[in-house]
Amino acid sequence: DTSSVVAAGYAYSHDAGAYATIVKLTRTLMIVPVCLFFALLVMRGAKKSGAGFSLRRIFPMFVLYFVVACIVNTTGILPAELSHGLGMLGKFAIVLAMSAIGLNTDLPSLVKNGARPLALGMVCWAAVAVTSLIVQHALGLL
């Protein structure tokens, strides 16, 4: 989830947020070649079987929109003020999405599922926290 990674990064510092965004978006960008690969696989299978094929139906269009947004922002087509404003709007949207996820948590459903999923979540959270502290200590940041 990109929004949680970016939010966690910015909660630590502006620089950490910038690095978190770059790393997460780089990983997210890998969706493009993976989707194209599987779309081509499906297309090849459809041609062999003689079935109809629609690239638009199997290729997620948000991937194309994401690539277009990256190209537009990277090439500098947009004025700096507009790009900055859209960046601020994006940060606000991330905070809004994280809030919506938190507000949408169904506590009775959590209780109904039992303690094991909650315990697993707590163990994972603790492992991430301890690993983060170890890395920060090793880098001399603590």
Q: What is the pLDDT of residues 3-59, one digit of tens each?
A: 778 888 888 889 998 999 898 888 888 888 888 888 888 888 877 877 776 667 777
Q: How far apart are CA 3 and CA 91, in angstroms?
A: 9
My answer on whether 74 and 7 are in the same domain is yes
Q: How far apart are CA 73 and CA 13, in angstroms?
A: 23
My answer on whether 118 and 98 are in the same domain is no
Residue 70: phi, psi to the nearest 5?
A: -65, -45
pTM beyond 0.75: no
My answer on whether 33 and 9 are in the same domain is yes
My answer on whether 63 and 129 are in the same domain is no
My answer on whether 36 and 99 are in the same domain is yes
My answer on whether 57 and 86 are in the same domain is yes
Q: What is the pLDDT of residues 79-136, one digit of tens each?
A: 989 988 988 898 888 788 878 888 888 888 878 888 888 899 899 999 999 998 999 8
Range of the domain at 110: 106-142
My answer on whether 63 and 80 are in the same domain is yes
Considering its fold, how many domains does the chain have in total? Answer: 2
